[in-house]
Structure 1
Amino acid sequence: MALNRDDYAGQLNALAPPGRALPRESDSQWQRLTQARAGAFSRVDGRAATLHEEADPRTTSELLPDWERVTAMPDPCVTGEQTVSERQDAVVRVLTGTGGASRPYFIGLADDLGYDIEVEDYTAHTVGSDVSEPIRGIDWRWAWTVRAAEETVRQLTVNSGVNEALATWGNERLECVFERLAPAHSILIFAYGETSW
């Protein structure tokens, strides 16, 4: 917690030697000078207190451009303006992300991006396959389908600023991020409006 001007003025007065040269009356020149010094100390203390918030990418605002520079943000998949909250989330995602190629990883990634999806993977038809299963070639074992709503709407969040859009919609970002992060050997298919929920 940052100390205020009066706190610092009290400390400066406590450190000053007693005597008529350094009067304690509030209207004296010495006390006006002490108040000015105390104000400077208080401002520095306040800035140091905000640095604690700026050191955390989840709460940063002033240092957000520096966090983005360090994490190579904004994401090349982002088109248009992003809210401050979305920018903070993207930085945190890069810093804490471990990567992966599993179904839960991509479902979690989509959730972080604001999309509700299902992932379906396939198997190739073999001699031991059930007769009722579709006949698929060997390449289908590398295919997977991401099923999402036809049009996803992401609403304004609590941390959003006054100048930010109330909602954004579209699935381009989902496709761009998934195509960039999908395993190189896989075949990624997107299907919209075909979910089971």
Structure 2
Amino acid sequence: MPKPSFTSADFTSALLGLLPRGRVWPKELSSVHAQAISCYAPTFQRISDSALGLLVDAFPATTVNLLGEWELTLGLPDPCAGISPTFQGRRNQVVARFTNSGGQSIQFFESFALGLGYTVTVTQYAPFRCGQSACGQQLGGEDWFFTWAINSALNTITYFRTGQSAMGDPLASWGNSVLECELSEAKPAHTILQFHYS
């Protein structure tokens, strides 16, 4: 069954139907009384549309009006988002934090970054070992066991997208500060994280 959607005309008709009967209460749409009543109809339509959108708004990936509630629930905004994050960036950060189940695998960090809106690859390092490493590989000490790198574009561009962005957002924004901050917080405490940009 489809969701009921009422127009301003429906609400005007309903409000006129609630009036008492009699010559003093004209119900023709051309009367001054009916035109005055019809001023309330757009407000009722807006409230009705907002109530219909509540199910869509209740999920982090599609939220608009409840984004602030999701941010408070997940401890956002935080310094990772910067001074004035875009609506799309805020929602991406909410979704990434909400769906983050934790992990230490390469796939986890690549999918976590993708949830934030960044396409990355992960490089793991190991110290040079005779008989196992090849000529030309990097030499490294014991710290190389715990070092890994995130490879990404120098400035990831986030474009304004209809249905995703909000009024006031820039048409395009550049930067990887959210990526660096979020992954630095999500990384295992004993590891050394590097960011490599191409």
Tell me if both proteins adopt one fold, taking TM over 0.5 as the criterion.
Answer: yes
TM-score, normalising length: structure 1 = 0.72
1:183 Cα shift?
A: 0.5
| 2:180 matches 1:175 | yes
The answer (yes or no) to whether the contact 1:146–1:188 under 8 Å persists in 2 is yes
The change in CA–CA distance for 1:15 and 1:120 in structure 2 (over 3 A counts) is same
Tell me the equivalent position of 1:93. Answer: 96
CA distance in 2, matches of 1:109, 1:185: 19
- Residue 126 of structure 2 corresponds to 123
Gaps of 5+ in 2: none
Bigger-Rg structure (1/2): 1
Deviations 1:14-55, CA, capped at 9 Å, x for gaps: 8899x7689785267996798678777545423322333432
Name 2:197's counterpart in structure 1.
192
Change (3 A) 1:11 1:124: same
Equivalent residue runs for 1:23-102 within 5 Å: 25-26=27-28, 42-102=45-105
**CA offset at residue 82 of structure 1?**
1.3
- Aligned CA RMSD, in angstroms, stands at 3.5
Are the aligned partners of 1:114 and 1:154 in contact in 2 as well (CA < 8 Å)? Answer: no
If the length of structure 2 is used for normalisation, what is the TM-score?
0.72
Query: Does the Cα contact within 8 Å between 1:16 and 1:22 map onto a contact in 2?
Result: no
Task: Kindly tell me the number of residue pairs found equivalent between the two proteins.
Answer: 190
| C-alpha distance after superposition, 1:96-139 (max 9, x if no partner) | 22121111111222233333322111234557x42526554333
Provide the C-alpha distance between the structure 2 equivalents of 1:52 and 1:46, rounded to a whole number of angstroms: 11
Aligned-residue identity in percent: 31
Q: 1:125 to 1:68 in 2, by over 3 A?
A: same
How is 1:134-149 mapped onto 2 (pairs within 5 angstroms)? 134=137, 136-149=140-153
